[in-house]
Homo-oligomer: A and B are copies of this chain.
């Protein structure tokens, strides 16, 4: 069993309204040192696969087909073996 931790972020240059809103709110709460805020998605998938390479291929395909919009989003992921 494998656990994939996927990060989906907006591509550089794409407007990030949520990040901008969080930054404004943090400033209003008195957090003065905040220079930049980027908001994205965290997706954690527990999956069965023959081996590590098969899990890697499957997760990459899941990201390309469903989890990340290739026009405006980038994705990265890490895979760890789970002893469930």
Residues of A within 8 A of B (CB): 1, 7-9, 19, 22, 25-26, 29, 31, 33-49, 58, 61-62, 65-67
Measured CB to CB, the nearest residue on chain B to A3 is B36
The answer on a CB contact under 8 Å between A41 and B43 is no
Instruction: State the CA gap A13–B37 with chains docked (Å).
Output: 29
Q: In the complex the two chains form, what is the Cα distance from A1 to B35 in whole Å?
A: 9
Q: A49 to B34, alpha carbons, bound, how many Å?
A: 9
Residue contact A44 to B40, C-beta cutoff 8 Å: yes
Q: Counting chain B CB atoms within 10 Å of each CB, which of A43, A49, A67 scores highest?
A: A43
Instruction: Please name the residue on chain B nearest to A45 by beta carbon.
Output: B37
Contact A33:B9 (CB < 8 A) given known A22-B67, A38-B43, A39-B43: no
